[in-house]
Chain A
Amino acid sequence: MNFELTEEQKLVQRTAREAADRVLAPRAAARDVSCEFPAAELAELARLDLLAIAVDAAHGGGGLGAVAYSLAMQELARGDASVAVAVSVTNMVAELIANHGTAAQIERWVPGLASGAHVCGAFVLSEPEAGSDPAALRTSATKTPAGWRLSGTKQWITNGGRAGVLVVWAVTDPSAGNRGITAFLVPGDAKGMSVARLEEKLGLHGSATAQLVLDGVEVGEDAVLGAPGRGFALAMTALDGGRIGIASQAIGIARGALQAAVTYAGERRTFGEPIIKHQAVGAMLADAATWLDAATLMTLRAAHAKEAGQPFSQLAAMAKLFATEHAWKICDIALQVHGGYGYVRDFPVERALRDVRVTRIYEGTSEIQRIVIARNLLRAVS
């Protein structure tokens, strides 16, 4: 047991921290209002090797592990959660292709994701009628002489319309249930793919969330990631890792909010002293700091298990559940400590509360995490 970060991990953390402060934070509030996509910011983060952190250096990645990835995500999310989610999805897609793609697929897509040439990646699983239950997918892929034709509607697609490469899940064998789902690598400019709408959201305004329509998108046989029928397993594996990313994002947002609240509480005075000296305020902040540390430990533990090659699905589900639920409570406390100032846009905490809310929903809702956790618990004792 060792709670100390390695020099390499500290270096990534510092790089991401400086990028968050220098590149992301200054325009985060403006981006929240303008809903502008952070293209320049992503390019800068690519230059700092933060878009494919856990991918082998031979493929242009950072060559680091999941712990380093989590640390970087925490820092970036503290700077701007909208940019962080684009980074998270891009890392997830790069890792997915690097781990499961053919040599040709890796060469075609991974270095470009890492370098920013593809801007970002997208993970195209959810549909209007299939979110938590991916086995209910309706998007179809039918065989053509040259490959496959994809048709359907996809929902809640982060980086949709911006990504240079998308991993699209479609049903290739409707009679085979989960084993009839296949993942495809689709170029961002594929003919027949269009953005039907961009969602207006509670938070994460700088993140593009699209409904995508695939209207007879033709891809070659070489677009199949893994093998036909293996898509569901790939999605589940990727989501296990993705949950570490979202847990880290939630922690970063919460840390930013808590830091703001502690600073504010040290300056703001009522009844003759800084409000942090009032037990009512100090106690709230103490709870928040305790939960934040616990969330961080849970998340780094899952990341450590992942990079050590140990089973980590249960640990990632626990980390995401714990981190996102508590990040929400921490942001709420941070807002409460700010009083009226917390409710207005002059201070960052109302944005934090809006941004963090989605972490309890995407990459598996808290309810799905609890189902996963309970299933594993019951399996372990029976």
Chain B
Amino acid sequence: MDFSLTDEQLAVQKLARDFATNEVLPKAAEIDREHRHPAELVKRMGDLGFLGIAIPLAHQGAGFDHVSYALAMEEVSRACASTGVIMSVNNSLVCDPIFRFGTDAQKAKWLVPLAQGHLLGCFALSEPEAGSDAAAQRTTATRDGDDWVISGTKNWITNGPVADVCVLFTMNDRAAGHKGITAFILPMTTKGVRCGAPDDKLGIRGSKSSQIFLDDVRLSNDHLLGEVGGGFKVAMSTLDGGRIGIAAQAVGIARAALEDALAYAQQRRTFGKPIAQHQAIQFKLADMATEIDAARLLTLRAAWLKDHKLPYGMEASMAKLYASDIANKAAREAIQIFGGNGYVTEFPVERHFRDAKITEIYEGTSEIQRLVIAGHLAKATR
């Protein structure tokens, strides 16, 4: 047992921290205010290897482990949660399933440019009537000769309006339930693909998400990702990894809340001393710091298990459940420590509060995480 980071992990963490502090943080408020997709930061992340961190060098990824991925996600998200989720989606939800389920030809054609950051990806599972209950898919994929014809509507697709490639889930045999789900790699320029207006959201406003309308979209069979009927497995195993990314994002947001609150509490004075000297404030800071460390350890453990090819589904759920919970708590407490200044957009903590909320919802709500964990607990006693 060793809780020290390796030199390589420390190097990735430092690279990410420098990038986040020097290039991302100065723009975070503006990105949020303008609801702006930070294309220039996405390009920089591509240059730094952050868009395919855990993809092997052979596929032009950065070749680091998932612990490094989680560390980098935390740093980028500490500066800007919107930039963090763009990174998370490309790494966890697009590169990772193509790496694990793609053919050699698909890897050469799609994974390489995605991992390099030349292309940006999105992941389309949710639908207007199918979120947590992924098997309720209505988007249809029908055989037509050697091709597939796909129609339906996808919802809340992060990176949708700015993506070049989509990992798309469809239902080709409704009677088979979740065994009727099939995944495809969809170029977003394909005829019949159209994105709706970007969602107008509470937080992560620099992350563009939208509906995707699929109207008789024709794909050749070499766009099939994994097996026909194997899409549910692709989706669920991908989301397990994605939860590590979102947990790390939540830890980053929580850290932003703590670090901003800590700095403020030492400047702001009441009753003749900095509010950081009042126990009422100190206790909030102590709890925030403790909970952040706990969340980070859960997250890194899940990443480490994934790196070592050990089961990590329950651990990833625990990390995401807890990290998203304490991110919201930390952001709430940060606003409280800032008082009135916490409620105005001149200071960053109301943004942290708005950004934190989504981490309890996407890539499996907290309620879904609890179902996953309870399922594992029940299984272990049988």
Residues of A within 8 A of B (CB): 1-6, 9, 67, 262-263, 265-266, 274, 276-277, 279, 281-283, 285-287, 289-291, 293-295, 297-298, 300-301, 304-305, 308, 315, 318, 321-322, 367, 369-371, 373-375, 377-378, 381-382
Q: Which of B9, B285, B286 has the most chain A CB within a 10 Å cutoff? A: B286
A283 contacts B370, C-beta separation under 8 Å: yes
Contacts of B295 in A (CB 8 A): 294
| A–B pairs, 19, beta carbons within 8 Å | A1-B3, A67-B1, A266-B381, A279-B370, A282-B374, A282-B377, A289-B377, A290-B318, A290-B373, A291-B322, A297-B297, A301-B3, A304-B3, A308-B4, A318-B293, A367-B283, A370-B286, A377-B285, A381-B263
What CA separation (Å) do A324 and B150 show in the bound complex? 54
Given contacts A294-B295, A374-B285, contact A1 B262 (CB under 8 A): no
| Nearest B-chain residue to A276, judged by Cβ | B378
Residues of B within 8 A of A (CB): 1-6, 9, 67, 262-263, 266, 276, 279, 282-283, 285-287, 289-291, 293-295, 297-298, 300-301, 304-305, 315, 318, 321-322, 367, 369-375, 377-378, 380-382
Which of A1, A295, A370, A381 sits near B266, CB closer than 8 Å? Answer: A381
| Nearest B-chain residue to A370, judged by Cβ | B286
What CA separation (Å) do A281 and B367 show in the bound complex? 12
B1 contacts A9, C-beta separation under 8 Å: yes
Which of A285, A297, A377 sits near B301, CB closer than 8 Å? Answer: A297
8 A-B pairs closest in CB distance: A282-B374, A374-B282, A286-B373, A373-B286, A370-B286, A297-B297, A286-B370, A294-B294
What CA separation (Å) do A50 and B289 show in the bound complex? 33
Q: Whole-angstrom distance from the CB of B11 to the nearest CB of chain A?
A: 14
B298 contacts A286, C-beta separation under 8 Å: no
Q: Whole-angstrom distance from the CB of B44 to the nearest CB of chain A?
A: 27
What CA separation (Å) do A290 and B314 show in the bound complex? 9
What CA separation (Å) do A286 and B364 show in the bound complex? 15
B294 contacts A1, C-beta separation under 8 Å: no
| Nearest A-chain residue to B373, judged by Cβ | A286
What CA separation (Å) do A318 and B282 show in the bound complex? 14
B262 contacts A377, C-beta separation under 8 Å: yes
B304 contacts A1, C-beta separation under 8 Å: yes
What CA separation (Å) do A304 and B3 show in the bound complex? 7
Which of B9, B283, B293 sits near A374, CB closer than 8 Å? Answer: B283
A293 contacts B286, C-beta separation under 8 Å: no
A305 contacts B382, C-beta separation under 8 Å: no
Contacts of A289 in B (CB 8 A): 318, 373, 377
| Nearest B-chain residue to A282, judged by Cβ | B374
| Nearest A-chain residue to B259, judged by Cβ | A381
Which of A282, A287, A373, A382 sits near B290, CB closer than 8 Å? Answer: A373
What CA separation (Å) do A281 and B377 show in the bound complex? 12
B305 contacts A297, C-beta separation under 8 Å: no
The B interface, classified by DSSP as helix, strand, loop or mixed, is helix
A378 contacts B283, C-beta separation under 8 Å: no
Given contacts A3-B305, A294-B297, contact A318 B289 (CB under 8 A): yes
What CA separation (Å) do A377 and B293 show in the bound complex? 13
| Nearest A-chain residue to B4, judged by Cβ | A1
Q: Whole-angstrom distance from the CB of A371 to the nearest CB of chain B?
A: 7
Q: Whole-angstrom distance from the CB of A283 to the nearest CB of chain B?
A: 4
| Nearest A-chain residue to B294, judged by Cβ | A294
Given contacts A298-B294, A308-B4, A322-B291, contact A286 B377 (CB under 8 A): yes
What CA separation (Å) do A315 and B380 show in the bound complex? 31
Q: Whole-angstrom distance from the CB of B208 to the nearest CB of chain A?
A: 32
Q: Whole-angstrom distance from the CB of A109 to the nearest CB of chain B?
A: 30
A370 contacts B282, C-beta separation under 8 Å: yes
Given contacts A1-B67, A297-B297, contact A266 B262 (CB under 8 A): no
B374 contacts A290, C-beta separation under 8 Å: no
Contacts of A2 in B (CB 8 A): 1-2, 304
A286 contacts B294, C-beta separation under 8 Å: no
A304 contacts B1, C-beta separation under 8 Å: yes
Which of B4, B289, B298, B378 sits near A297, CB closer than 8 Å? Answer: B298
Contacts of A371 in B (CB 8 A): 279, 282, 286
Contacts of A274 in B (CB 8 A): 378
A378 contacts B321, C-beta separation under 8 Å: no
B262 contacts A293, C-beta separation under 8 Å: no
Contacts of A265 in B (CB 8 A): 378
What CA separation (Å) do A277 and B374 show in the bound complex? 8
What CA separation (Å) do A300 and B300 show in the bound complex? 14
What CA separation (Å) do A371 and B280 show in the bound complex? 10
B304 contacts A322, C-beta separation under 8 Å: no
What CA separation (Å) do A36 and B183 show in the bound complex? 65
Contacts of B3 in A (CB 8 A): 1, 300-301, 304-305
Q: Which of A301, A308, A369 has the most chain B CB within a 10 Å cutoff? A: A301
Q: Whole-angstrom distance from the CB of B371 to the nearest CB of chain A?
A: 7
Q: Whole-angstrom distance from the CB of B72 to the nearest CB of chain A?
A: 14
Q: Which of A3, A281, A315, A369 has the most chain B CB within a 10 Å cutoff? A: A3
Contacts of A300 in B (CB 8 A): 1, 3
Given contacts A304-B2, A305-B3, contact A290 B321 (CB under 8 A): yes
Q: Whole-angstrom distance from the CB of B49 to the nearest CB of chain A?
A: 20
Contacts of B9 in A (CB 8 A): 1
Given contacts A1-B4, A289-B373, A293-B318, contact A374 B290 (CB under 8 A): no
A5 contacts B378, C-beta separation under 8 Å: no
Contacts of B6 in A (CB 8 A): 1
Given contacts A293-B315, A318-B293, A378-B266, contact A5 B1 (CB under 8 A): yes
Which of B315, B367, B378 sits near A277, CB closer than 8 Å? Answer: B378
| Nearest B-chain residue to A314, judged by Cβ | B289
Given contacts A3-B1, A67-B1, A381-B262, contact A301 B287 (CB under 8 A): no
